Copies of this chain bind each other. A is one copy, B any other.
Amino acid sequence: MAEQRHRVVVVGAGFGGLFATKALRNAPVDVTLINGTTYHLFQPLLYQMATGILSEGEIAPPIREILKRQENVRVLLGTVTEVDPEQRTVTAVAPGTSYTVEYDSLIVAAGASQSYFGNNQFAEHAPGMKSIDDALELRGRIFGAFELAELATDPATIERLLTFVVVGAGPTGVEMAGQIAELAHRHLPGQYDRIDPRKARIILIDALPTVLSTFGDRLSTTALRQLHLLGVEVELETKVVDVDETGIEVETRDGLRRIESLTKIWAAGVAAPALSRQLAEATGAKTDRAGRLQVNPDCTVPGHPEIFAVGDMMALDNLPGVAQVAIQSGKHAAGQIKRRLAGEEAGQPFKYFDKGSLATIARFHAVASVGRFHFAGLAGWLLWLVVHLLYLVGFKNRVTAVMHWFVSFIGRGRSERVATFQQVFARRALQQYRDHLP
């Protein structure tokens, strides 16, 4: 009888879980990767799906395709609802079934979900930007707003339909606002009879005094100027106090104000998933304000050297919730497991290597901060393009898909605009489902 190999369970196939799994490729372990969907989501390009540039498949390659040449991994569909650190098992639910898997080492990389800072009722009127469903919903709402404006006759209704509010001026919000502006000013004009899409207002709101506040003053200022050139109205030091179907209530130094707008997009705030809380309760670990697990410097959960929490789920050294942190911490966890199995000393602290920050604002304009170097405009944009092209090609090995992306993005086409009937009815049902998840 063959000896049982060390069993690693990885929860989540986002950046953290996927890169941890890949890093275990040649290790003497059996990996079980459990994910709530069948795909890995390339979240940084979600806003391009929402604005008609990319299809679902282009930013969400099937996990099984990505890993099909890795022999020591099995992939299971399921949402992990519970970790039992005593029995060393995880329990997952999938449509119509649930199951339990044993582990010797566990890497929890369940990511983060949108946070409405205690106002979950905003979600219905201002979808987030975290999932394929979010992006499809927003795609339907954004293009749908132009369609309904074309049908409307009342000027106030038309204005409300053509006002887009993006909440949160971090990279996601800035990129989203920039792309809606490009849609309105470059792609859609000439396609309507009664309305002029160029008259659309795009309003970007943030409670902080700068956009892209983590990029540093110089790039923030450059980004702000670019947004203005694109026609985006940037309202800083502005707090959202209420969101309803037809508008948004904000608070500034001058008091309360209402913005009439049908399409609101929430790109502010993240929260750790329910699993983070469950794991904290089960292990006695602490969580931070966003619900992230406070881990040891080596990414393990206190008292449990066999459990790693990585990526957006971990609270460590105030590291930001970005793809690079997830990728590097996932690889670190895998490396620690390999060291232990090789009989080497483990417990090395995770050291984040900051490769820099990138955000694209419009065609040919991006801001990039790499170490001491700052790029803006075309130079920043070319850097952004190369990084994303390399990433997409590396992953998907589909040169034609990347070419298609390249041409649509540079060119005028916005071909992925389909909205389904399902979207009109499903959001509420979906919310109920999520509310009932443990």
Contacts and interface: CB of A to CB of B under 8 A. Distances in A.
Given A415-B57, A425-B429, A401 B398 contact: no
A400 B414 CA distance: 13
Contact of A57 (B55, B148, B194, B425): B55
A151 interface: yes
A419 B96 CA distance: 16
A286 interface: no
Interface stretch (A72-80, A171-179, A322-330, A371-379): A72-80
A68 interface: yes
B191 A65 contact: yes
Q: How many copies does the complex hold?
A: 2
A342 interface: no
B421 A57 contact: no
B38 A419 contact: yes
Contacts of A420: 132-133, 136, 422, 426
A148 to B, nearest CB: 7
Which of A55, A75, A398 has the most CB atoms of chain B within a 10 A radius of its CB? Answer: A55
Contact of A418 (B57, B396, B417): B57
Interface string A45-82: 00000001001111011101100100000111110000
A245 to B, nearest CB: 10
B398 A95 contact: no
Contact of A95 (B61, B133, B424, B433): B424
Given A94-B151, A426-B429, A429-B429, 10 more contacts: A39-B417, A57-B418, A58-B415, A62-B414, A65-B413, A65-B415, A132-B420, A400-B408, A425-B425, A425-B430
